[in-house]
Chains A and B, each alone.
Chain A
Amino acid sequence: MRINEKKVALFIERFRGQGGIVELVQSWDEALDLIERKARTVAGPVAVATCDRKRLDGIRKRLDGISRLVGPHASPTDIAGCSLGITFPAAGIAETGSILEICYDDSDRLVSTLPSNHIAYLESFNILEGLLEVAPLVRQASRQNNFSATIISGPSRTADIELRQVVGVHGPQAVTVLLKV
C-alpha cells in the first residue's frame, strides 16, 4: 500500500519507532477482520470505548461467539478482566508518533489502560502534523465540564531496574493502531 502523505508516513515511522504497531487497512471492514483475529489470539473478553453506533454494532457482530464484549462504560473490574481494549482516538500526531484520546468518562480511559492489548482505530485524515495542533482539540474538549486528553506514544514501559527496558509494566504490552489510509 502506498503512503503518499508525508505526515502519515512520519506518523507510522515514529509510532513504530516507539514500540507501537501500525497495521494499514483500507476500510472499517478490514479493520474488523484484524480486530477479530486479535480477539481470537488473546482469547478473553474485549473492552470497547465509546464510539458511534455503526462501529459498535460492527464490533459486536464480529465478536459474537468469539469474545465477550465489555462496555462502553463498563465497570473498572470488568475492564480489568479484558485482554483487549478497543478505542477510537481523536487524532494521530506525526511529529511525536502518538495518538490522542479524548474522554469524557474515565471508563473510556481505562479501555486503553487496563487490558494487556490495546487496539486504536484511526483514519489517516485525522493525523495532525505537529504537537501544537493538539491544542485546539483540547480547548474544544474543555467546553465540557470534565474531560481528559491523553497523548499515547507506544506501549507502557519502564527501565527502572538496571535500565533494562520492559514493556507493559502497568499499562498495555502492545498498542496497535489500525490506520485507515
Chain B
Amino acid sequence: MTSYSALEEVVRRRLRQGPVRGLYSAMRRGLEGRAKAIAEMGDYEAFRSEARRIKERSVARFSELVDTFTRNAEKRGAKVYFARDGEEAVKIIVRIARDAQARLVAKSKSLTSEEILLNDGLQAQGLNVIETDLGERIIQLAREKPSHLVFPAIHKTLEDVNLLFSEEARREISSDIREIMNYIRQRLREIFLTADIGFNGANVAIAEIGAVVLETNEGNGRMTSSLPRVQVVLVGIEKIVETVEEALILAGAHAVAATGQRLTTYVSIMAGRSPMAGDSSREMHIVLLDNGRSRMLSEDIFREALYCIRCGACMNVCAPYSVTGGHIFGHIYPGPIGIPWTANIHGLDEASFAHLCISCGLCKEVCPISINIPLMISRVKNLLASRYGYPKADKSMMRYETLGKLASQLAPVSNWFLKTRASRYLLEKLVGLDRTVPLPEFRRDTFVKRFNRVRVEVPTPRARVALFLDFFPNYCRPEIAESLVTALQLAGVKVELPPQLTSGYPLIAYGDWEGAKKYAARNVELLSSYVEQGYSIVSIEPTATYTLKNIYPYLLKDDGRAEALAKNTLEALQVLWGLVSEGLLTVRARFKKRYGIHVPCHQRPLSGVENVLALMREAGLEAVVIEDGMCCGMGGTFGLKRGPIGRELSKAMGARLFEFFNSGGVETIVTESSVCAIHLAEGANVEVFHPLDILCFEKPS
C-alpha cells in the first residue's frame, strides 16, 4: 500500500528527476497516429458507439457467453478451465505445465498474466519463463514493471537495452539497433523452437466458434501460439464477445486507438489446436479468469471498466501520467483505467495513485469505448476517503464556495490579507493552499449584486436565457458575465439570473459523491422551473457547462429533470456565435495581438475551439490553437494545493505547454477557463484574456 504521504514522497522524487524520458514522445505518437487514422475513417463516432454497444452487450451477458464459448471450444478439443481468482489460475497453469513435463515457457505479452503474477508462480515451480515481446523482454531482464500498455519499456534508453542484452549474451553487442534486433531474433528463435509451452493472452474471445483472437505487431504471438506442443491461453472473462463480426470491430477499435493502425500487423483467430505437419498430439488449454470481474459487473459504476480493450489511449492524454510515468501512476495496471482496475482487482490500497488524477476528463474523450474513467476514479477517491479520510488540502478545496463567498464579502480586505506572506504561510499550514500560487482578486461587487443594474427589460424577446454563473464570473470576473448579458440583451434575448449554487465540480474531482449529489440536486431544483418555462440555461465556465451536461445526469440518474437540464444547457460563446451568424449581433475586436488559444479540457467534449475561433475570425483576429494534447496541469483547484500532489506536479505538467506558447511567439493567450488563465499567465508569463475581454458585441446598424 502507498499512503498519501508515501505517494507525495515518490512524486517529489520523480519531479526532482524530471519527467520520464521518452514517455511524452510515445504518448504524442499514439495520439497523432490515432488522430490521423480517425480522420481517414469517416464516421468514427458511429464506429465508436458500435464498439461500445458490443462491449455493453457482451459484458451484460457474460455468464451466458462463458458457457457458449466453453462449449464450442471444448467441442474442438481445447480444454477450458474457469479460475475464480488469480491464485487458482496460476495453480491450473502450473498443473498443465507439470502434466506436460515442461521446463521452458515462451510467453507472449499478456497484461492479464501480469495481473495474476503468473511468471512468479511458474518460476517458483522451477519453470523458465521467457517473455518474447521485445518491450516485455526488456523489462523482464531489468526486473521492472511495464510503464505503458503499448510500449512497456518506453522508459528505457537504447544504452539501457544494449546493456541488458549484452549482459544476457555475456558478450558485447553493438549499440546499433539492427544489431540488437538480430541478437533478439536469434536468441528468441531458439526459445520459440525449444519451448515446451507457448503462452499467450487474448485480446478477444469469440463465443460462437470457441476461438481466441490475438493481436501483435512483432509476430512473437504467432510463434508462441503455433510452435510449442502445448498452448496455454489466459482470457479475462470480459473479453468474450458473441460473434466474429464483433471481434473484428473490436480489433479495429483497438488498433486505431492504440497506435493509429487500421489493424495490428497480425490478428490471429485460433480455434482448437491445429496439428503441426500432421502431428495432432498437440494441446490447447484455455483458462478463463474471473478474479473480481463478476463483482465489478454487479457494481454499476465499475462495470464500465470491464469494457476496456487495453488500447492505452487513455494513458496518452493523461497529464499527470505523462510526468510521473506508469510506475507511479499505476500498480500493475498503469494509467487512468489502471485506477479502477487496481482498486477492484488488487485492492483499494494499491489504487492510492488515484490522488494524482486531476479530473480533466480527457481519458473518457479519447477512449474508443467512451468509458467513463473519470467518474470511476472519483468513486475510487470516494472509497479511499471513507477508509482514510480526505487529504487536508482536498477537504479545503471542496469548501471553495464558502471560502469564495467569505473572501468576496470581506473584499478588499481579504485581497490584501491574501497577499501577505504571513497569511499565506498560515493558509498553507492550515488548509493546504500553496503559499506561492497566484490567487484571483475577489470582488465585493459580485455579479449577483450587479445583475439588476445590467438587466434591461426586453419587451418581445426572441429567446429567453437563464444564466448559470459558477464561481469565477460571480466572485472574481463579474465583467465577463456583464459583457455576455449586455450582448444577449442587445440581440433581443431576455436574461434572468435564477438563484443557484456553483457547479460543485471540485467535489466530484476529490471524490465527495454525497456532497456533489447535493449540489446537483439543488441546482436541478433551482434551474428546472426555468427549463420547463422554455428558458435555455447559458453557462460561462467550461467546467460548469460540462458538469451540468455530463455529470448531473449521471449523479441523478433517477431524476429526469437533470437530463432535461443537460439538454437545454448551452455554452455562452455558442449562443453568441449563433446570434452573430444570424445577423443579430456584430462582433469586433477591442485590440489586435498575436493570439494563442488554449482550449480547456472540459471544453473539448463540448464545442471545442469552434465558437471562439469563429468569433475571433469574424472580428478580424488571427489566432492559433496551441496544445500539447493534454491538460495544462491546473486541473481546476489541483494546482492551488501545496506540495507534490498539487502545485509542484501542476507546474511540471504545464511546463511543456508554457514552452509551446513561448516558442509560438504568442503575445496574448485566450481561454474560456478562469483557472487555466491563472496557471497560464504565471507559467507562460504572458497576459491571458477571456474571449469576452477581447471581443465587443454590437447591434447591427
Contacts and interface: CB of A to CB of B under 8 A. Distances in A.
B219 A169 contact: yes
A74 B277 contact: yes
A93 B268 CA distance: 15
Contacts of A73: 277-278
B272 A145 contact: yes
Nearest to A146: B272
B261 A163 contact: no
Interface stretch (B220-228, B341-349, B392-400): B220-228
B178 interface: yes
Interface stretch (A27-35, A55-63, A83-91, A132-140): A132-140
B244 interface: yes
Interface in A130-168: 131-132, 134-135, 138-139, 142, 145-164, 166, 168
B156 interface: yes
Interface stretch (B87-95, B185-193, B285-293, B483-491): B185-193
Contact of A105 (B135, B270, B277): B277
Given A113-B226, A159-B151, A77 B261 contact: no
B218 A170 contact: yes
Interface stretch (A36-44, A95-103, A119-127): A95-103
A139 B266 contact: no
B276 A76 contact: yes
Interface string A161-181: 111101011111000000000
Nearest to B282: A106
Contact of B269 (A149, A152, A163, A170): A149
B434 to A, nearest CB: 35
Contacts of A160: 133-135, 138, 151-154
B266 A163 contact: no
A131 B271 contact: no
Contact of A169 (B218, B270, B272, B273): B218
A26 interface: no
Contacts, number: 177
Contact of B25 (A97, A103, A134, A163): A163
B77 A105 contact: no
B77 A166 contact: no
B161 interface: yes
B423 interface: no
Interface residues of B, number: 65
B182 to A, nearest CB: 10
B436 interface: no
Contacts of B209: 138-139, 142
A155 B269 CA distance: 18
B38 interface: no
A142 B152 CA distance: 34
A110 interface: yes
Interface string B280-304: 0010000000000000000000000
Given A138-B209, A153-B262, A169-B218, A161 B272 contact: no
A155 B132 contact: no
Contacts of A98: 262-263
Contact of B226 (A104, A109, A145, A158): A109
Interface in B68-86: 76-77
B275 A105 contact: yes
A135 B248 contact: yes
Nearest to A77: B193
Contacts of B76: 145-146
Given A135-B248, A168-B185, A153 B265 contact: yes
A66 interface: no
| Highest count of chain A CB atoms <10 Å: which of B135, B252, B276 | B276
A147 B218 contact: no
B274 interface: yes
Contacts of A113: 219, 222-223, 226
B263 A151 contact: yes
A97 B262 contact: yes
A55 B138 CA distance: 43
B25 A76 contact: no
B267 interface: yes
A21 interface: no
Contacts of B266: 150-153, 156, 171
Interface of B: 22, 25-26, 29, 76-77, 132-135, 138, 151-154, 156-158, 161, 177-178, 180-181, 184-185, 188-189, 192-193, 209, 211, 217-220, 222-223, 226-227, 243-245, 248-249, 251-252, 261-278, 282
16 contacts: A80-B193, A103-B274, A104-B274, A106-B275, A142-B209, A148-B274, A150-B266, A150-B267, A150-B268, A156-B219, A156-B265, A158-B217, A163-B22, A163-B151, A166-B181, A169-B220
Given A146-B274, A160-B134, A162-B22, 8 more contacts: A77-B193, A105-B275, A106-B226, A131-B248, A148-B270, A152-B266, A154-B265, A156-B218
